[in-house]
Amino acid sequence: RKVLTHRDIARMAEALERQGVRVIRMDVGEPDFRAPSVVVERAYQEMKAGKSRYTEPKGRQELREAIADYVKMKFGADVKADQVIATMGGAFGVYLALASTISPGDEVIVIDPSWPIYKSCIRYVGGRPIVLETRLEDNWEPNLDELNEKMSAATKAIILNYPSNPTGKALSKKTFKGIVEIAQDKKLTLISDEVYADYNFTGSGHNTVLNYPEVSYVLISSFSKSWGMTGFRVGFVISDLDRANKMAAIQSMLITCIPEFVQYAAIEALKCLDEAKRNLEVMKERAEAVCKALEPLPVSFYKPDGAMYVFPRIDVEGIDGSEFAVKLLEKKNVSVAPGGAFGNYFDYFRISLGQPKEALVEGVKRIGEFLSSMS
């Protein structure tokens, strides 16, 4: 069975757009927010002032201190600047975390459905992804007994991503703590991708690995989603000092450092708390509108606790997610990501909330029309 990824659909959508077709883009996990104007201005001013030179591999001290202050303010976490590395976005943070943690033949547990980069990256550094599947029927809750059963002598790490891409699931404190305890007991590293920490709709606060310093961890975060800075390519990782130094050595070898003026822009972003808050409210509103529009359709879905996605299952017999995504694009000019890209979820598709609410609601309406024509 040919499984298409969101990238395949994006390429098809872009080809249509080049022909002048207006496509409602619900495939790409990129918010439509612009970076705050003060962030753009700061990058520009620093470039003009000649701040386009090498920095130390971990990033400028001022930026790392600002990140440490930010996580202290946000989560009450006590982190030193030397534990922080400014990375080329969250994706490169995933690579650094894995490259500094596992050796060829080691196993890493991935909780599906998951962002495809985790498995690709584990394989790239010579590891083996071991999948723990979660189910819509269980509200995407990982079963900790099943997690324990997946362990072997070769297991070195567990990757967490909550709020989740693609499901929008956020873990309860009890489940999060349960996973931390398993990791501690088995001496594993928790690699926690928390790029959607600011998009939490629950009101009960974000559970972060930073609040469990007793466990071996790497936190991955990014400026892309909270502040609409996807193209700036700036994120950060936080871990214990030894691992941070190891990751810095890898970063130094591969990219030297991230651009100096981008680091200054990131310092400015950390002051823009109102923008991050407003972006959260917009995402929450979009999620509610999309869920409401999906309700009458022949689909089942979990109402997201956070992140920027809804992950519906198509409740029509014999429909494959990849085929569905291609035909939906051809017939209705709406692009979605096929569920098979995120694991063994071939009758699902992912809606990204990266478009204005009106466009998303119109997109869902067209999905409904398309499903009616198929059943």
Q: What is the pTM of this model?
A: 0.94
Which residues in the chain show pLDDT less than 50?
Answer: none
* Region of residue 333 (left: phi > 0; alpha: psi -120 to 50; beta: else): left
The per-residue pLDDT for 154 is 98
Question: Interior CA angle at 83 toward 78 and 85, to 5°?
Answer: 125
Contacts of 159 (CB under 8 A, 6+ apart): 108, 109, 110, 111, 114, 118, 191, 192, 193
310 touches 301 (CB < 8 A):
yes
344 touches 27 (CB < 8 A):
no
* Region of residue 89 (left: phi > 0; alpha: psi -120 to 50; beta: else): left
Gap between the Cα atoms of 367 and 375, Å rounded: 12
Gap between the Cα atoms of 132 and 350, Å rounded: 19
Domains present along the chain, CATH in parentheses: 6-29+274-374 (3.90.1150.10), 37-271 (3.40.640.10)
The per-residue pLDDT for 2 is 79
The per-residue pLDDT for 341 is 94
